[in-house]
Chain A
Amino acid sequence: MTIAFPPQTSSSPPGLQPEGWLRYLSFSLDHKVIGLQYMVAGFFFYLVGGALAGMIRVELVSPISDFISRETYNEVLTLHGTVMIFLWIVPVVNGAFGNYLIPFYVGARDMAFPRLNAVAFWLIPPAGFLLIASYFIAGAAQSGWTAYPPLSLTTPAAGQVVWILSVLLLGGSSIFGGINFIATVLKMRRPGLKLMQLPMYCWAMLGTSILVVLSTPVLAGTLVLLSFDIIAHTGFFNPALGGNAVVYQHLFWFYSHPAVYIMVLPAFGLVSEILPVHARKPLFGYTTMVYSILGIVFLGLIVWAHHMFTSATPPWMRLFFTIATAFIAVPTGIKFFNWLATLWGGKIALNSAMLFSCAFIIHFVFGGITGVALAQVPFDIHVHDTYFVVGHFHYVVYGGTVFVIFGSIYHWFPKFTGRMLNEDLGRFHFLITFIGFNLCFAPQHWLGLNGMPRRVAEYDPQFTLMNQISSVGALLMAVSTLPFLINVFWSAFSGRVAGDNPWNALTPEWLTSSPPPVENWKGEAPLVQHPYGYGVTPGQIDLGAATGREIWSSGQ
């Protein structure tokens, strides 16, 4: 491990890499630049996906299909799902925070493969624009983000093929990122830093990247076969040509169930970083947290068929996948109780980062409970493919992951820019997002239970009121991005100057200037063996200005 500190490339010939803000538009190899590139690009696509969601909710204000044509509606819902998953959540919780934080956490000056890293990012904008352009040029795909054949074989081919191409590019980007994270966490650690001393986010990213590397290639292969079916009229998944449509579903969900953990495990990791800092307590139960991440990774790989309980799956298979799925609640439960214990007895700062993180806990517990219910075959056969499922996964994906992304931005913004975000605007942002979100998605559970299927442009008039409530919630959510955007732009230029470590945090990214220098630390990287060493031991006197136990030392 002598290669851990290559002499910094700052001595490389000047002028090849742009300086200043232009760096963010360049093929930069700096993990911090790449992280922020992911973040900004991801947020752009979040706004696109949000506009699409807005179109859906406007259409559903009335029970008849009157706002956009039915074909357009299906294009919109397909694009919405694809954009939100592959261009917002996955790139941001993995790419943005992963790239920014992981090298700090392992005490390295960059990721293991900086060039691969830049390539991974630069696959995203073209893939995203390709996808969106397909809507304007040939008409986008219409078969949902799941693209089940035979429907995806019979809807207009051009849009579907572009969709496949775009998802393949994004999958490639995700795989490159995953390989990079695994290598960085395992091989780039500062000498003397043990795996079990890493901040929890590293473990989360390790687990996530394992899932990415194991399951994304399966999706890629499946989509290639699907494109053969569309272009070359092969019959892999086409029953009319002797193929089997259910096989596609198995292969698709073999990726796409792990994908939900690819979207949420990093969020678990981020929350594990935020809570101890703002509660001034060590992360409770580090070891069990690590094992539960590994448990989730393992179980996450063997539960995919819970998406297929009504697809003529044999009884034994339904039973197996019910049990495996329900058992994911065990490692997940451990993590939640550990977080609650982290908060218990702390000195909790009720700032925006903390509020978003706590809302995440509430929403995810709710979504987890509906998830365990959905795992029960007899329960699922009624609500599968209804708005109940839409409610479930928005509670975990939006109420969970997206809330964590916002909380993380409030937490790390001072690190990114050297300035604080405005807290009052932040709490206001939290309040309307929280109300809007719950107003939007809670009623959808009732809709599903009572007979509203998902992915429809028209519905039974008895559901009008609930849909309108839901749309009002969506409007609030849309409005809530305004205070956030104002806050970010205003604070970036004239926010309160943060200082290097405004939260008195102990994790390594705070033990350098804000924003950090290109080489992360002037001088040698600190060796942080107790990233959560907060707290006073009973009996110790609280010295007014305590910063927690400073157990890090620079150098060995």
Chain B
Amino acid sequence: MSMVAKEEKIINACRFCWMCRHVCPVGKVTGLERNNARARALALSLVTRGQSLTADIVDNIYECVLCGACTKDCVTGFDPTRFVKAARLEAALEGLTPESVVRILDDLEQYSNPYAGTVLAPALQEAIASLPQQAPILFYLGSSARYQNPQAAVTAIRLMKKAGVNFTVMMDEPDSGLYKANLLGSVAETRESMVQTAEMINKTKAEILVAFGPSCAKAFLRDYPEYNILLSPQVRTFTSWLNTLIQDGALVPTNRQNVITFHDPCTLARDLEEEDPAREILAACGTLKEMFLHGKHTMCCGSGLMDLYAPALTAKMSSSRWNSAQETGAQTLVTACPSCYTVFAKTQPDRMRLCGIESIVWEACK
């Protein structure tokens, strides 16, 4: 049975159903009929009925940003990301993976991260080196923070130190495996790299793992259990952890002048159903003005991963989010994901400031 055929039940449900089209962030910015769950399912339904998978269909399959908005909206409980991932795997088996994606997979193979990152920025190296080698709390930075947004990682480390947290960061932190899972679906190699990562994490003997990026947190909390991979430390999102530090008085924000709007990362608000901690943090740092479509209704910023192979599409999505941010009248857009930060930085309008949640707290605590 082909990979796609395994998801035939979902495909058959979605192919004639438009009910979740309004939540698809890609369809929203492109206005294209092909950019929603039903269109992708319709094309794949023809594949399950004997037609060939074509490069044209695969291209559209990669225009799904796997934000899970459709899945969350579906009253019946169907999950289109499953057939999207299945189709990506089938495309790989048939040699139909788009060239732009193959390049990222090659980088993942070679560098264990999709950014071709090899050495850490000196400031980040220094910050990590200043930490104990072993500690009850492991702060997991993720590839995006390590190679794309090291300043955010440095600030987050400083913040944790300021709060007196006894923590460590792995200098040679392994990749969470999430990228491969998203780009290729459920292949043996995906699981293999996750198993290796879990082993390295478990070896640290940390009791708590705080994941800086919500996507990494989602990988540890959702994907690893699905692949039957055991992580010994308890996994916390950075936002829930940071909020605890503030609520417990370990960090005391004093500057509350900011007028802020907040972009909920999709994995945080939808997959992990976490909306409040970031809001409580921001309430301590200023006045929060909610964006049109926030919380679990958040619209994906375009995703750091898609930015690597379809930057124009990502830019459209992040610009649309910036428009919503500007409409709130806030001066600063805060996000709680280093990868979203990188995406937003590329389309930042002149009259707004972009800030990671770690930076806004750092500033407020100065």
Q: Do A and B bind each other?
A: no
- Residues in A lying within 8 Å of B, measured CB to CB: none
